[in-house]
Amino acid sequence: MRLKDQVILITGSTTGIGEHMARRFIQEGAKVILHGRDAVRGQALRKELGEDKAAFCQGSLEDAAYPEKLAADAIVAFGKVDALVNNAALTIRGRIDTTDAAFFDRMMAVNARAPMLLIRALLPELKKNTGVVLNIGSVLAHCGQANMLAYSMSKGALMTMTRNLADSLGMDRVRVNQLNVGWTLSDNEYQVKIGDGLGEGWPERLPPSVVPMGRLLMPEDIAAACVYWVGRESYPVTGTVAELEQYPIIGRYANAEGDEKK
């Protein structure tokens, strides 16, 4: 019960990593505010988790006015908010030649602007409760793939915001940290990679250089790590950006000697 009596808002929590966070946080004694765009899915998950332990808020983070409403609704749900997990993100593919202004603005609105506006709206509540923000970033923030230009840029912006706010909000006892997540095998990722041309069963065909530990990260692995960062155990640490991947992200150079096991 590492999160006993905490109330945690998780954006984008009706599927994938966010859903696994919600399940794990409740197991650890928390109450959660689910968020997503699909009301049917959200309400079904709330019912499954228990209506005394989970609330659901529906809305699109592309709407600049919505984060303020989401913050207010989250506080009403259980009377307080102790932690915010900015997990929701668009992962739409786009190279430089297909990334126009509208595409870029949409990506930044959900992945960078909405987290900032949510923190802004919840700040009085977080100050009152010695609260914590956990931003879910990506290792792609450091460079990224050619077909994920805008996404990589948005996660770079999120990373800078994490450090900036950790510094500026420290005197208010509000902590802000970030997990840069590596390649994670969610249901959505499986389908996306089929669309990218990898074919059915692709996770079993990945080379050892990609999965030296024998498998990709799973959503439950990320959820387990998040328990520490949203909980009181990680106090007073703030401003940390931690990579969750199975090899070093910075400075790694692919083996060119013909033996991937060395």
- Give the pLDDT of residue 260: 52
- Give the pLDDT of residue 163: 98
- Residue by residue, pLDDT tens for the chain (262 residues) are 999 999 999 999 999 999 999 999 999 999 999 999 999 999 999 999 999 999 999 999 999 999 999 999 999 999 999 999 999 999 999 999 999 999 999 999 999 999 999 999 999 999 999 999 999 999 999 999 999 999 999 999 999 999 999 999 999 999 999 999 999 999 999 998 998 889 999 999 999 989 999 999 999 999 999 999 999 999 999 999 999 999 999 988 876 666 555 4
- Give the pLDDT of residue 254: 72
Distance CA 29, CA 223 (A): 14
Is 247 an annotated catalytic residue? no
Cβ–Cβ < 8 Å for 13, 36: yes
**203 is written with which tokens?**
């996770």
Residue 244's DSSP bridge partners are 181
Cβ–Cβ < 8 Å for 165, 144: no
- Give the pLDDT of residue 196: 85
For 143, half-sphere exposure in the C-beta direction (CA atoms, 13 angstrom radius) is 6
Annotated catalytic residue within 151, 235, 247, 253: 151
- Give the pLDDT of residue 67: 98
**51 is written with which tokens?**
């209506």
- Give the pLDDT of residue 258: 61
Distance CA 216, CA 55 (A): 31
- Give the pLDDT of residue 195: 87
